[in-house]
Amino acid sequence: MALQDKYQQLIDTANTSGVSNLQVREQDGVLYIDGEAPSGAVKDKLWDVYGSIDPDFLSGDVVMNVNVATAVPGAKVKVVTEKSNLNIRKGPGTDQPIVGKAAHHEIITLVSKSNDQWWLVRTDDGEEGYAYAQYLAPVE
Amino acid sequence: MKRTFSRLLNASLLIAITSIWLFSCKPKIKDEDIQTQIQSNPALTHLVATVKDGVVTLSGECKDEADKTASENVVKQIPGVKSVVNNTTIAPPPPPAPVEIAADDPLTKGITDALKDHPTVKATAKDGIITVTGEATSANWKKIKIALDALKPKKVDASGLTIKK
């Protein structure tokens, strides 16, 4: 219960921001928070609150996994790398050959999710392959 | 005349009293009948009931508040029941599903992908625990942490990581 108290503000934010399928479980000294945020903005807000309670996440007592509900097949997603292009690969892994690139801030289409880390995408030019999901944000 | 009148009055009184008695007195429903009704009702089989003089005492475990109220209402509908003493308890909520933790191999592969753009950070996975070392800026470490959490580790131990400004 102590961890839930420490992170009460984070749990409250998740509840009031419309996170669905929210699960908060404590196991072996770690608090696991899972759910689906209605938008990327809500997911960002949750990470900001988490970081305010545990600066730089150095306590290691939370594992938070909140996906974004708007990231569904057919959705438009924006390349949110810091400044570089995003590699589009033949398969879901950095060991896979690069078959194309999407430019920084380009809007491309999410075709399907291979898993939480790798999404099959297609650019307007018709290049299709796998891109690392961390660098893709649903257009809201 | 007076005698006839007085006889009529007696007769009316007798008829009135008999009628009142006939219409207000119901045949007494026995406690055993109530008990039979309770035991044959599928909505109440999870509970225990004792009946005494039409007063039903309910005990046992209900699955939630709604179940507790519904059971009481069902019993109240049974003919002969004068009142219900609801001593049922409510079951504790089921334990949450155990947390899913990924195996070390998929964790290791996921770590490789997550750190590809961050050569100054190193991480290994053992028994579900990802141990992070090296250095990173606060902003980059946040991105890495989000990616590592998504791999479903047991824990992300960054005590060996240096955050540089």
CATH code of A38's domain:
3.30.460.10
Q: Examine the fold and report which residue of A14, A36, A68 is the final residue of a domain before the chain moves on.
A: A68
Mean pLDDT of B77-88: 95
The residue segments making up the domain with residue A13 are: 3-68
Q: Are the beta carbons of A84 and A99 closer than 8 angstroms?
A: no
Mean pLDDT confidence for A19-32: 95
Higher pLDDT, A7 or B10: A7
Contact check, Cβ <8 Å, A94/B116: yes
Q: In sequence order, what are the residues at sequence separation of 6 or more whose Cβ sits closer than 8 angstroms to the Cβ of residue B162? A: B134, B135, B136
Residue B59 has pLDDT above 70, yes or no: yes
pLDDT for the residue numbered B132? 98
| Strand-pair partners of B112 | none
If asked whether residues A64 and A89 sit together in one domain, one would say no
* CA angle, residues A123, A129, A134, in degrees to nearest 5: 85
Which residues in chain A touch residue B152, judged by CB atoms under 8 angstroms apart?
Answer: 63, 65
The per-residue pLDDT for A88 is: 97
- Distance CA(B147)–CA(A49), nearest Å, equals 17
- pLDDT for A1 equals 63
State whether residue A107 sits within 8 Å of chain B by CB.
no
Residue B18 pLDDT grade (very low, low, confident, very high; cuts 50, 70, 90): confident
pLDDT at B138: 96
pTM of structure: 0.71
What pLDDT score was predicted for residue B107? Answer: 97
The predicted pLDDT at position B24 comes to 64
The total domain count for chain A is 2
Q: Which residues of A touch B147 (CB under 8 A)?
A: 117, 134
Task: Verify that A93 and A48 share a domain, yes or no.
Answer: no
Q: How much of chain A, in percent, has pLDDT values that exceed 70? A: 99
Of the residues A28, A46, A68, which one is the last residue of a structural domain? A68
With CB atoms and an 8 Å threshold, state whether B149 touches A93.
Answer: no
